[in-house]
Structure 1
């Protein structure tokens, strides 16, 4: 056999057979032991529960008995029983006892047996009867030994028909020891059933008297019917008993003062349900155990492909200068070599990227210096100064003011070849540009510049704001009778918020310039690129329609005062 079949198949069949036999034995033994243990524990718990229910019933029944004692001692009741009272006194007694029934939710009705009883009012829960009629009943035998007793199930005529009740009777005697009357307090069996149902148990509860009649139950058993297992009703002195009969666990508890028995019946199926469930789970475990070989193969496959998936995930989520990736370093095999090679690759890629950025900055600086070198500042200043004097000589004040503002803009704009300005200088440049445009447009718009003192020395790339202001004036406010432009610069935590608003035609003015790479010397796209470069992807630029009309440009940049911190 070992030479004919593969070792893998033999090992699989051997382990499967061993597991099947072991699990079958475990299931059988576990089922037998667990069922026996559960039955014993359930019987013990059932005894404890019945004792608790018994205490509750004793308390309720003693309350009924005490009420009967109080009613029997009422002078009004004794006067009516002794005779010679008026109709008014009898009616007053009826109303008083009726109120007692109505205020006590457990009492169904009250009966008084006496000589010459008053006429019954069927609407009241109080009934009068002939004493001689009561003395002829079988339940009167108990009063040979007791002055009061529970006499079992009786029938009483009510306004809506005949009712079955549980009666407690008390004999009322005169001073000579003669029986003058009998007071009967009737208890509704449904009330007793509710007392039993207050205990949420899996068992069915029965309350049975000494004659084997059911007084109340949590099942559909009828009141007054014989209990279906009279053989378990004994006169033993022990208070509780447990019986295992057919497919039921029956526990009894004697209510000795009343000669009643409280019975709890639990089907075996309910007791063994958990054991059957355990057996089913063990069978399922056996099936799972047989599949362990397949699961191990699956786990091994997953473990072999896990490093490859990790490496693929790292490659898919890699971004330059965005985050530091956590590359596993605990692999000492071929996968470790793969991760090490990938780490060297991204390090080399970062070096190449930084080299490219450095060359890009050098290129941009060379372009700006070349642009600035094309202009001879001294020649330009002298020429503008001569033009300004000629304008003054000819009395052209507007032209003189324009040339003066232009000269001041050039001084700030050239700024000795620097590409970074303070926000104070940038706004100063922008204000001169606005004054120049205000002369050109003959005062068709107003402007308001608000700069927080804390941000004036913060740094910003030169000519960042002018393209947006120029776009607002040339396109947004064109044709607007009362144009308005607002610029505010504020500090929020460690960032600077620059807002440029106008009441022009809205964001459409910027759509006209999307394809234009220049606006006042620098295009909007150029501004976006320079912000990204200098602030290393930490700058944000948004354009949106303003709620009150017009367009709002918002620039969000870090608060930096040291030029070495810029990119």
Structure 2
């Protein structure tokens, strides 16, 4: 071994480079076929996995939006004062006190007209809801639309059951339901209890029907040779491009077993022409699974042509590299060693040392670039600090760009829904709150506003959200007048309040509260946002503030962006403090310096 090392050591660098290139060529040629087949196939599969995963995420998001919209309509309908009054009057007319005198109740033409006007605003063609049924407290199905009450009675029965006191909307699996004048359709129904707002009594239940074709339209435009399925928690196919597959057991119909670990997965099954690439995406709100099945032949059909191209290009590049390395190895090695010597001296701490090699070739440029790099280290360090500041500003602008269009869209949708339901006064209030929110948020381009203005902006946001989520939330604001004239970065509270609603209160079944308090503490202003929502584990809150969590996890992006912006403006002493107990509460304290606006 020592003799071989001595022999290698006696060979010139130029010859070493040439010999090494010959060995590389031999190894490359011997393994080229393997790489052309396996690596190209792996790259194609990985590309398809990435593309299909993004498609499934998009489908999941669109499905989430559809489900949330339908649930919002069920809540709006269940809270409509006209519907509640009609159902409550029917309850009183048919109570035990009047049992000896049966009353027509909802069969009264004026009542049917009122219900029909209320429901017509939220069914086709205004929305994606096919029809609506109402079950009264006296177990009567109301015929005010296209839904066949005989089907409703047979499928759902005439009793409420144990779940009818729940405030949350309840979804069924896929069912066949009859509609007047149109016959049967495959639908999924969502039901919502109607609780009288004054008495707290359950006066009825509304049922909204969504056609399976409406759900299938979400993913039908994404098909690129494969098949999409939506499977319920029992393993039944509830949506598919092939309608003949509906209601069948997924495992028996497609011969694919979905992993039961509840996680999103991508795996292959089968062999040869029957090999399939399968993706699953869990839709947790309804315990559904979105499945994409793509034949492997569709993915690797161009693999042979790609392999041939890779082989030709690789051979040409290697031959060219061999010729160039033989000609230039001698001229390259000397300046490289000289530059390496300079680098070793710098590693010992001699930062003033520079390369003395000068030439117009590539090594000369490398030497010159190395010297320039050393000269710019101090400048780059200062530039890096500025970039960190700019990054914090960009994060805030990104947060603003996400909040305003999203908030505007949701508010306009709420106003439209209120107008459709005849709640003109509430719609005007919502519009006024929205105008106030945007007036303050614009602030003539100023990023720093008074705490009083920030509180009015936040109050406008909360009032609109309370119109949308009246069953989820209420709020209080207790701010000392002393601090209202002090300054605060604009849109500091809104991302935190939004996080409290969507990641806190909405995850609990009962109604929750958001409490905002503000006071002076020495030379600081302390504003506290408390909610009794879902809370977080200790490691989650630490990860959010440390920046290790995913951007959309528990609202981490908004909280961290607000904290970074405050610290950028006022220093490390200020920012956000997160305190939370899982399942109990979350409390976020904002610490700011006393500065007049």
TM surpasses 0.5:
no
Q: Which has the higher contact order (CA 8 A, sep 6+)?
A: 2
- TM (norm. structure 1) is 0.41
